[in-house]
Amino acid sequence: MEGKEQKVEIALMLGCDRYSLDLWTKEVIKAFEGGINAIALFPAILKKKKNGTGTESYNLEGLLQQY
Protein backbone atom coordinates (compact mmCIF):
# COMPACT_ATOMS: atom_id res chain seq x y z
CA MET A 1 0.00 0.00 0.00
CA GLU A 2 1.08 3.58 -0.40
CA GLY A 3 2.77 5.48 2.40
CA LYS A 4 5.72 4.86 4.69
CA GLU A 5 6.09 2.61 7.74
CA GLN A 6 2.52 1.34 7.51
CA LYS A 7 1.31 -2.10 8.50
CA VAL A 8 -2.44 -2.72 8.52
CA GLU A 9 -4.22 -5.94 9.45
CA ILE A 10 -6.58 -7.30 6.78
CA ALA A 11 -9.72 -7.95 8.79
CA LEU A 12 -11.14 -10.68 6.54
CA MET A 13 -7.81 -12.52 6.17
CA LEU A 14 -6.72 -13.64 9.61
CA GLY A 15 -2.96 -13.42 10.05
CA CYS A 16 -2.45 -11.33 6.90
CA ASP A 17 -1.34 -7.72 6.80
CA ARG A 18 -0.85 -4.97 4.23
CA TYR A 19 2.52 -3.20 4.17
CA SER A 20 3.78 0.03 2.70
CA LEU A 21 6.57 -0.53 0.17
CA ASP A 22 9.36 0.26 2.63
CA LEU A 23 8.17 -2.39 5.10
CA TRP A 24 7.10 -4.85 2.41
CA THR A 25 10.67 -5.17 1.17
CA LYS A 26 11.86 -6.11 4.65
CA GLU A 27 9.07 -8.69 5.03
CA VAL A 28 9.94 -10.30 1.69
CA ILE A 29 13.59 -10.63 2.72
CA LYS A 30 12.57 -12.25 6.04
CA ALA A 31 10.25 -14.65 4.22
CA PHE A 32 12.99 -15.63 1.76
CA GLU A 33 15.46 -16.19 4.58
CA GLY A 34 12.84 -18.35 6.29
CA GLY A 35 12.56 -20.63 3.27
CA ILE A 36 9.53 -19.14 1.52
CA ASN A 37 10.33 -18.86 -2.18
CA ALA A 38 7.12 -17.38 -3.58
CA ILE A 39 4.66 -14.66 -2.58
CA ALA A 40 1.38 -13.35 -4.00
CA LEU A 41 0.95 -9.62 -4.49
CA PHE A 42 -2.39 -7.97 -3.79
CA PRO A 43 -1.81 -4.23 -4.05
CA ALA A 44 -4.17 -1.90 -2.19
CA ILE A 45 -4.88 0.75 -4.81
CA LEU A 46 -6.42 3.98 -3.56
CA LYS A 47 -10.08 4.29 -4.52
CA LYS A 48 -9.47 7.65 -6.21
CA LYS A 49 -7.02 5.95 -8.62
CA LYS A 50 -9.50 3.27 -9.74
CA ASN A 51 -11.65 3.56 -12.85
CA GLY A 52 -13.64 1.37 -15.22
CA THR A 53 -10.71 0.79 -17.57
CA GLY A 54 -8.03 -0.07 -14.98
CA THR A 55 -5.55 2.56 -16.12
CA GLU A 56 -3.61 2.36 -12.85
CA SER A 57 -2.60 -1.20 -13.76
CA TYR A 58 -0.31 0.08 -16.50
CA ASN A 59 0.78 3.35 -14.89
CA LEU A 60 4.59 3.15 -14.90
CA GLU A 61 4.63 5.09 -11.62
CA GLY A 62 1.91 2.89 -10.07
CA LEU A 63 2.17 1.09 -6.73
CA LEU A 64 2.88 -2.40 -8.07
CA GLN A 65 5.21 -1.19 -10.83
CA GLN A 66 7.50 0.52 -8.31
CA TYR A 67 9.04 -2.84 -7.30
The predicted structure's pLDDT at residue 67: 64
Between the alpha carbon of residue 19 and those of residues 10, 15, 16, 28, 33, the distances in Å are: 10, 13, 10, 11, 18
Vertex 63 angle, CA 60 and 55, to 5°: 55
Residues 59 and 65: beta-carbon distance below 8 Å: yes
The predicted structure's pLDDT at residue 30: 94
Domain residue limits, the chain = 7-57
Print pLDDT tens along the chain (67 aa): 888 999 999 999 898 899 988 898 899 999 999 999 998 888 888 899 999 998 888 888 887 787 6
8-13 long-range Cβ contacts below 8 angstroms, 24+ apart: none
